[in-house]
Structure 1
Amino acid sequence: MDDVANKAPKPRKATVRYEDDTYSWAFEQAALLRAGRWSELDIGHLADEIEDVGKSEARELESALRLVLMHLLKWDHQPEKRTRSWTLSIAVHRKFAARALRKNPGLKGVLVEVLADAYETARLEASGETDLDLSVFPEACPYDFDTLMTRPVEWPPAAS
């Protein structure tokens, strides 16, 4: 059996540099990992890329929360302009946020920071989309996470 292993062609060495072609590098590194060729791995860049995967998941959650926040701000500050589209966006992005947290429970540990970052951007966007002065919107997020995720928004609006 050793003779068979010794006669098998040796896999070629890693050839792609991260700096030159990250796409090809990633697939080459995955192949090296699967082959157990540990000494050929680009450990430093692999560690950076793995951390980036986590950061990407946090950005996905932030993006979903940002859109919920922006539409809730618009909903609260321009009730006469409420639309079915805002209601739908809030519902859809709540689902995205809930799914991100369900698939990545570790994000719960950074939820306060992610929510604060999302609100900072949502506040700017709400101001820009409503033509209301930025000062109209509170500097700190007026919604806690549970309210953000569950507060009813109905279309058409209930009669007064």
Structure 2
Amino acid sequence: MSFAKHPKPQPAPAAYEEDAYTWALEQAALLRAGRFEAIDVENIAEEIETVGRSEFARLRSSFRIIMLHLLKRDRQPERRSRSWVSSILTHRLDAAETLAENPGLKSRVSEALAGAYARARIEAIAETGLPEGALPETCPYDLDAVMTREIQWAP
């Protein structure tokens, strides 16, 4: 008795909009196999751009949290806490790591700081109850202050 080899049935390709996880695995397999004619060029390009935007957002988020706690420490010294210090130090490490992993972001640090400050200012006003005029509209911190300004553990 002879058994003919039948090709293993392949699942239908996942559409990008319906199952991004399966689609990503399929696209990676196609790229690795050199089947460039079968790849979803437009959506792969979009995903690659999304990675870049995510890394920028990650940097801006770290800066936002650092500046939020710097603003609160500067405007309400009587409320200083060790958790604010911990948050500042942790997010400094995150920002430094993001910049080290993505050197191309260095050219966008000023933009990230400005966007982060706008968000940090809103949060600081909400969390402290201070009037809007108590905090400058433009960022008072440069990269050096955000990343290296000395912060004491004691309140």
- Alpha-carbon spacing, 1:37–1:46, altered in 2? closer, same or farther (3 Å): same
For structure 2, the 5+ residue unaligned runs are none
Task: Choose the corresponding residue for 1:39, options 25, 37, 40.
Answer: 37
How far does residue 10 in structure 1 lie from its aligned partner after superposition? Answer: 9.4
Task: Choose the corresponding residue for 2:89, options 88, 91, 96.
Answer: 91
Query: CA offsets per residue over residues 15-35 of structure 1, 9 Å max, x none?
Result: 111122112111111111111
For structure 1, the 5+ residue unaligned runs are 1-6
SS at match of 1:31: helix
Match in the other structure for 1:3: none
- Alpha-carbon spacing, 1:10–1:38, altered in 2? closer, same or farther (3 Å): farther
SS at match of 1:138: coil
- Alpha-carbon spacing, 1:62–1:22, altered in 2? closer, same or farther (3 Å): same
Match in the other structure for 2:122: 124
Match in the other structure for 1:60: 58
How far does residue 155 in structure 1 lie from its aligned partner after superposition? Answer: 2.0
Match in the other structure for 1:4: none
Match in the other structure for 2:75: 77
Identity of aligned residues (%): 54
Q: CA separation in 2, counterparts of 1:107 and 1:45?
A: 23
Alpha-carbon contact 1:14-1:40 (below 8 Å) kept: no
Match in the other structure for 1:102: 100
Match in the other structure for 1:19: 17
Match in the other structure for 1:115: 113
Matched AA of 2:106: K
How far does residue 135 in structure 1 lie from its aligned partner after superposition? Answer: 2.1
- Alpha-carbon spacing, 1:126–1:35, altered in 2? closer, same or farther (3 Å): same
TM-score by length of 2: 0.91
- Alpha-carbon spacing, 1:42–1:125, altered in 2? closer, same or farther (3 Å): same
Runs ≥4 in structure 1, deviation > 4 angstroms? 9-14
Cα RMSD, aligned residues only: 1.9
Matched AA of 1:91: L
Q: CA separation in 2, counterparts of 1:144 and 1:14?
A: 52
What number of residue pairs does the alignment pair up? 151
Q: CA separation in 2, counterparts of 1:18 and 1:141?
A: 40
